[in-house]
Amino acid sequence: MKLDELDMKILNELRENSRLSMSELGRRVNLSSPSVTERVRQMESFGVIKKYTVEVNYEKVGQPIQCIVEATVKNGDYQGFNKLIQRFSNIEFCYRVAGNACFLLKLQFNNFAEAEEFINTVNPIASTVTHFIFSEVKTNLKLDLT
């Protein structure tokens, strides 16, 4: 699927507010509502749009402890690591990466005890470096056509 500038505009609008109606979305990108609808449907079915979701303030939701963990799997037991982390529901992301570490994860916890518990659970399989998050410096993001 080839995206044009209009698709990018649509994505940027939806990224700012995914609850826009198709007609309002059309107004913002100067397109009729049937046209926007079709473009959006296309991007959904091609997987360009993965999910409509919500950004939550974890502190206000009772999970004030956030951290990013570098995990280096021992003895190349990637399967075991994969399996292990599946049971946690407080993982925002887990990426397989190049570099010293094998995986980078972001997690939320209700308190430090929970964080410790997680690390203890993982450590038999992977060594970890934990970066607790102090604050969010920047999060904006715009898509451009190259």
Q: How far is the CB of 35 from a copy of itself (least distance, A)?
A: 18
CB atoms closer than 10 angstroms to residue 31: 18
Q: How far is the CB of 75 from a copy of itself (least distance, A)?
A: 18
**What tokens were used for 121?**
């659970």
Closest CA to 136 of 54, 61, 50, 68: 68
58 near 111, Cβ under 8 Å? no
Candidate list 30, 111, 121, 123; residue touching DNA; CB under 7 A:
30
Binding of DNA by 130 (CB under 7 A)? no
Q: Contact letters (x/-) for a copy of itself, 73-112, by CB under 8 A?
A: ---------x--xx--xxxxxxxxxxxxx-xx---x-x--
Query: DSSP per residue over 102-117, as a string?
Result: SEEEEEEESSHHHHHH
Q: How far is the CB of 62 from a copy of itself (least distance, A)?
A: 6
